[in-house]
Amino acid sequence: MAKLYFYYASMNAGKSAHLLQADFNYRERGMRTMLWTAALDSRSGGRVKSRIGLESGAHLFTPETDLWAAVMAEHAAAPLACVLVDEAQFLMPQQVWRLARLADEAAIPVLCYGLRTDFRGELFPGSAVLLGIADALVELKAVCHCGRKATMNLRVDEKGRAVSDGAQTEIGGNDRYVALCRRHFSAALAGA
């Protein structure tokens, strides 16, 4: 039975590297996969990229992308063994449901990787639905500067100061976000 998986973590936990390793494992065994990443993150250039240097080409999704139709068209041409989605927090709720349908009706495993929460500690809409309906939830671990598990994503300004206001989504990497444990996240925001 195919399942919908959600691998979630704070930033810098190796989500993209984990996705690329899973993709490699399928492909090494001669199985076809289909990779997706968010068009919103224009830094990727249509690629899933990890901080440790691994990367692979991917299809881009927007809020309007019909993932069911796109995947089924590819699957009809030649069977897919797995669909892998990076930056899954940017999926729309209906897109998550269509990915679940791929697992349930087309028997294609779907592995989604993304952030659970934003810089305020609030769920992203795509992540909220994934947490609610995924068959398997897997937390990947990142480490705070204190050595505890990092579960939060602190947004910082160009001087490294905590930011507590703004749009939910602002694309950036280590220059804009710091993975912290909840204690240090709360302390940083209290000082903002």
pTM of the full structure: 0.92
Domains, the chain: 4-141 (3.40.50.300)
Let me know if 170 is a catalytic residue.
no
The most confident of 2-6, 55-59, 119-123, by mean pLDDT: 2-6
Query: What is the structure's pLDDT at 173?
Result: 59
Residue 39: count other Cβ atoms within 10 Å of its Cβ.
17
Q: How far apart are CA 141 and CA 138, in angstroms?
A: 10
Parallel, antiparallel or unpaired: strands 136-139 and 142-143:
unpaired
Which pLDDT belongs to residue 44?
67
Q: Collect all residues with Cβ–Cβ distance below 8 Å to 112 and sequence separation of at least 6.
A: 4, 5, 6, 7, 84, 85, 88, 91, 96, 99, 130, 134
> Residue 178 in 3-state DSSP?
strand
**Which pLDDT score, from 0 to 100, does residue 160 have?**
79
Q: Which residues pair with 162 in a beta bridge?
A: 156
Whole-number Cα distances in Å, 162 to 31, 52, 140, 149, 152: 44, 26, 24, 19, 13
CA 102 to chain centroid: 18
172: confidence class by pLDDT, cuts 50, 70, 90: low
Strands (E) in the chain, as ranges, are: 4-9, 33-38, 47-49, 55-57, 59-61, 82-85, 110-115, 136-139, 142-143, 149-150, 152-156, 162-163, 177-180
Decide which of 142 and 156 is more confident: 142
Catalytic residue among 87, 105, 139, 158: 87
pLDDT tens-digit readout, 66-102: 999 999 999 999 999 999 999 999 999 999 999 999 9
Question: 140 or 11: whose pLDDT is higher?
Answer: 140
**Taking the mean position of all CA atoms in its chain, how far away is CA 36?**
10
Query: Residue 130 pLDDT > 80, yes or no?
Result: yes
Question: Is residue 156 pLDDT above 90, yes or no?
Answer: no
